[in-house]
């Protein structure tokens, strides 16, 4: 008889399938109302919860990271949710199929548990599906706020949903609806604006991610429009953008009226649009840690605002209730769950989480009603998402990952997000649009030909990377090369000296400089200067050739001392993977239309300074932005 060989991964899948059959047989005596899609979500939730043990309920409240995770763990512990942290992938440069295979493997484990409750997989997708190689990377929110186009961000949300579904993921930790009040904050680029009105408008991205609630639909409850949509998460509740001195995870000092007026409106809008989850902030409000703030989470968010989805912690947010973190996890977990947190981003020690929470319930420190409320909310989102009917990831969406249509959309977003701050010296007339036909032009700067730098943090890895082959896309230099006339000679030199610039007699120069990638606390910055060698490059070139400075950054930087030598200045923010969008407006294929959604300060001593403040004296005020007309392929 010919021997048969079964590879281990295949064997693992077969074992899990057999276990699912066994679990189905074991569960044949259980009520199956919760499996019946014709019944109301309320009936299904109550039926399922009536059959769950305390441990099964608490396990639904855990979200764990994929590191060292197996399908067997999902089966044996009936874990409610799984996530990929920043940079956590099935393997380096994983394909859509690799992702779907991994997600389905974990899901098979969940479906093999006693009750077969599907898990929900979440990921940070904060400017496109940014963890995934070859995904479309859109401009960060700081740039999108300058477009003033809610319809554009809605389309970006829809594209992001498709790309997330291409990898089998139905839940994204976006949008960030922080109102950044101080650019020293390392997460300021995740904020659309210093103005809550713009942030409110940009919550239309939720309609793109989840789908738009039908006219006769119920407002304020979790909503998902179909298999091509994903569950969204409004974050970080609340006041994360208003911390003292812009220090990440710090204290926000503001009175009740100010909190409601400035930081809360984005949440009102998100709830009306059916956002499924809300993530709590690491920060504090007037000295009270948000992860332990019962008044804001339970009384306001769940009570007054009638939010019906689930509230999730941030990464180890419960651990950080003590300093040092995790010093008294039992007390931290007690405070967080009683405050109203429903799902805890653990993310590793799930047995400790489960054991401690069970102990608190058995000893009456956490009411059973609080656990039931959390689980009811989690199950409501899972039923709404159709996970009980369609738990397995779909391979058919793979075509959407990094599709040309999505890259075209990202390119559109780039050109609409750029803000023209200066255009020509006095008496010289405008420099932009740049002539496409010139004898010789210089392209210089650290950020001209580096995809990692133009994408910024939260790209492939948590902090981002300084490398040009980070993912698929086009650099700004690539875009310039495509935009100019074939007869134009382009000289690229990352950091030329003064003599080189003088000797070559360039028609004009484009200098692309800015910040290194960063995320969260690593990005907190008190001086906000242009890092070297970018500043030296700018000084070496500008003043010795007509120059356009393209500033690639997650926030305004100190520029006033150098403005006199710069002929034209463009705030490009963090444009993402489609650098051609920058060239589109530099050379007049499209006009500049972007308007500042943040105040551009003269010096850091003025900070924080926001529109409407007394003694408001900016270099470029909120709403400023020069405009140019499209000249198409001419010029």
Instruction: Give 454-465 pLDDT, tens digit per residue.
Output: 999 999 999 999
C-alpha dihedral sign at 430, 431, 433, 436: positive
> Quick check: bond before 236 cis, omega within 30?
yes
Find out whether 341 and 366 touch, Cβ atoms under 8 Å.
no
Distance CA 229, CA 231 (A): 7
Q: Which of 582, 534, 591 is nearest to 557 (CA)?
A: 534
pLDDT number for residue 7: 35
Per DSSP, helices labelled H in 418-568 are 451-455, 476-483, 498-504, 534-541
The beta strands (E) that lie in 137-232 are given as: 171-172
**What's this model's pTM, rounded to 2 decimal places?**
0.95
∠ CA(140), CA(565), CA(186), 5° rounding? Answer: 25
Q: Which residues are catalytic?
A: 314, 520
Q: What are phi and psi of 179, to 5 degrees?
A: -105, 95
CATH topology of domain 418-606: Rossmann fold (3.40.50)
- Residue 382 to residues 75, 293, 397, Cα–Cα distance (Å): 17, 26, 21
- Both tokens of residue 254? 């503001």
Mean pLDDT of the chain: 96
Q: What DSSP line would sit under 335-386, residue for residue?
A: HHHHHT--BEE--S-HHHHHHHHHHHHHTTSS-HHHHHHHHHHHHHHHHHTT
Distance CA 131, CA 133 (A): 7
Q: Which of 444, 438, 441 is nearest to 485 (CA)?
A: 438
- If pLDDT is split at 50, 70 and 90, which confidence band does 220 have? confident
**Please, where in the chain does CATH 3.40.50.1700 lie?**
418-606
pLDDT number for residue 308: 98
Residue 29 has pLDDT above 80, yes or no: no
Residue 14 has pLDDT above 90, yes or no: no
* CA neighbours closer than 13 Å in the CB half-sphere of residue 423: 19
Distance CA 317, CA 346 (A): 8
Q: Considering the domain 54-389, what is its CATH architecture? A: Alpha-Beta Barrel (3.20)
Per DSSP, helices labelled H in 566-633 are 580-586
Find out whether 515 and 447 touch, Cβ atoms under 8 Å.
no
Q: Which of 285, 345, 287 is nearest to 316 (CA)?
A: 345
- Both tokens of residue 300? 């306001």
∠ CA(270), CA(275), CA(279), 5° rounding? Answer: 90
Q: What is the pLDDT of residues 486-529, one digit of tens each?
A: 999 999 999 999 999 999 999 999 999 999 999 999 999 999 99
Q: What is the pLDDT of residues 603-632, one digit of tens each?
A: 999 999 999 999 999 999 999 999 999 998
Distance CA 135, CA 128 (A): 7
Residue 46 burial (CB count, 10 A): 14
pLDDT number for residue 468: 84
Q: Which of 230, 312, 302 is nearest to 277 (CA)?
A: 312
End-to-end CA distance of the chain: 77
**Please, where in the chain does CATH 3.20.20.300 lie?**
54-389
Distance CA 146, CA 331 (A): 43
Q: What is the pLDDT of residues 300-338, one digit of tens each?
A: 999 999 999 999 999 999 999 999 999 999 999 999 999
Residue 545 has pLDDT above 50, yes or no: yes
- Mark residue 405 as left, alpha or beta (left: phi above 0; alpha: psi -120 to 50; beta: remaining): alpha
């Amino acid at each position: 008889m010919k021997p048969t060989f079964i590879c281990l991964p295949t064997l693992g899948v077969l074992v899990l399938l057999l276990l699912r059959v066994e679990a189905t047989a074991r569960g044949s005596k259980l009520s199956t109302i919760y499996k019946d899609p014709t019944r109301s979500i309320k009936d299904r939730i109550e039926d399922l919860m009536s059959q769950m043990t305390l441990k099964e309920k608490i396990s639904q409240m855990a979200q764990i990271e994929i590191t060292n995770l197996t399908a067997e763990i999902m089966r044996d512990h009936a874990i409610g949710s799984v996530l990929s942290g920043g940079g956590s992938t099935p393997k380096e440069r994983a394909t859509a199929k690799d992702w779907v295979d991994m997600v389905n493997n974990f899901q098979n484990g969940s479906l093999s548990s006693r009750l077969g409750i599907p898990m929900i997989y979440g990921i940070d997708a904060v400017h496109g599906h940014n963890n995934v190689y070859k995904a479309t990377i859109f401009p960060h929110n700081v740039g999108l706020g300058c477009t003033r186009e809610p319809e554009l961000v809605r389309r970006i949300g829809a594209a992001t949903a498709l790309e997330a579904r291409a990898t089998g993921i139905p839940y994204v930790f976006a949008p960030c609806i922080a109102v950044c009040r101080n650019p020293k904050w390392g997460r300021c680029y995740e904020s659309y604006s210093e103005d809550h009105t713009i942030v409110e408008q940009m919550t239309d991205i939720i309609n793109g991610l989840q789908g738009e609630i039908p006219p006769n639909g119920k407002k304020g409850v979790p909503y998902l429009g179909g298999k091509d949509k994903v569950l969204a998460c409004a974050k970080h509740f609340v006041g994360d953008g208003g911390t003292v001195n812009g220090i990440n995870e710090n204290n926000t000092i503001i009175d009740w009226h100010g909190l409601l007026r400035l930081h809360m409106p984005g949440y009102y809008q998100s709830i009306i649009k059916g956002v499924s989850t809300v993530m709590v902030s690491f920060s504090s409000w007037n000295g009270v840690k948000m992860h332990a703030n019962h008044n804001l989470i339970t009384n306001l968010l769940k009570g007054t605002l009638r939010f019906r989805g689930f509230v999730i912690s941030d990464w180890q947010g419960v651990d950080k209730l003590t300093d040092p973190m995790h010093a008294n996890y039992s007390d931290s977990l007690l405070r967080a769950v009683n405050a109203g947190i429903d799902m805890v981003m653990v993310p590793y020690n799930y047995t400790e989480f489960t054991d401690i929470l069970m102990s608190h319930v058995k000893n009456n420190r956490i009411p059973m009603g609080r656990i039931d409320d959390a689980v009811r909310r989690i199950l409501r989102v899972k039923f709404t998402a159709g996970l009980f009917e369609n738990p397995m990831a779909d391979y058919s969406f793979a075509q959407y990952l990094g599709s040309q249509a999505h890259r075209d959309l990202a390119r559109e977003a780039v050109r609409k997000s750029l803000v023209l701050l200066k255009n020509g010296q006095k008496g010289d007339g405008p420099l932009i649009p740049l002539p496409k036909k010139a004898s010789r032009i210089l392209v210089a700067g650290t950020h001209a030909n580096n995809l990692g730098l133009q994408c910024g943090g939260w790209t492939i890895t948590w902090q981002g990377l300084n490398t040009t082959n980070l993912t698929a896309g086009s650099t700004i230099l690539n875009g310039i090369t495509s935009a100019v006339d074939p007869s134009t000679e382009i000289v690229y030199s990352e950091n030329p000296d003064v003599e080189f610039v003088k000797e070559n007699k360039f028609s004009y120069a484009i200098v692309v400089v800015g910040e290194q990638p960063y995320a969260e606390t690593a990005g907190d910055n008190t001086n906000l200067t242009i890092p070297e060698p970018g500043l030296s490059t700018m000084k070496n070139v500008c003043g010795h050739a007509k120059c356009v400075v393209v500033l690639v950054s997650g926030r305004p930087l100190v520029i006033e001392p150098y403005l006199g030598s710069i002929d034209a200045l463009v705030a490009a923010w963090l444009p993402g993977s489609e650098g051609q969008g920058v060239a589109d407006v530099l050379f007049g294929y499209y006009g500049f239309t972007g308007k500042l959604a943040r105040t551009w300060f003269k010096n850091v001593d003025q900070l924080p300074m926001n529109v409407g403040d007394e003694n408001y004296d900016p270099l470029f005020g909120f709403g400023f932005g020069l405009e140019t007309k499209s000249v198409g392929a001419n010029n």
